């Protein structure tokens, strides 16, 4: 694997994994006042379009990264609606 492909893979893991501590924080604190529902809603729609793009392009990394990020973002939305 080329160095640049490894960088891309690490980039994908970080931009997906980044949402884990936010989900954990909200899950623990049950407080979501400062979190923008608009941000997470627009982000979710965008991620689902990326997923569609990945499926069409038959790109497994794009499909995987956006599916997982989509689940984490959906979790934030659900917690936001639950604890608003």
User: By the criterion CB under 8 A, which residues form the site for a copy of itself?
Assistant: 4, 7-8, 10-22, 24-26, 29, 31-36, 38-40, 42-43, 45-47, 49-50, 52-53, 56-57
To a copy of itself, the closest distance from the beta carbon of 1 in angstroms equals 13
Scanning the chain, the segments in alpha helix (DSSP H) are 3-17, 19-29, 37-57, 60-82
Closest CA to 64 of 23, 9, 24: 9
To a copy of itself, the closest distance from the beta carbon of 33 in angstroms equals 6
Q: Which is nearer to a copy of itself, 52 or 78 (CB)?
A: 52
Q: What is the DSSP letter of 34?
A: T
């Amino acid at each position: 694997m080329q160095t640049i492909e490894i960088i891309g893979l690490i980039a994908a893991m970080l931009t997906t994994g980044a949402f884990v501590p936010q989900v954990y924080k909200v899950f623990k604190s049950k407080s979501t006042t400062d979190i923008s529902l608009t941000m997470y809603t627009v982000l979710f729609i965008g991620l689902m379009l990326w997923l569609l793009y990945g499926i069409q392009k038959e790109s497994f990394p794009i499909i995987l990264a956006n599916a997982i990020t989509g689940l984490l973002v959906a979790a934030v939305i659900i917690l936001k609606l639950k604890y608003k």
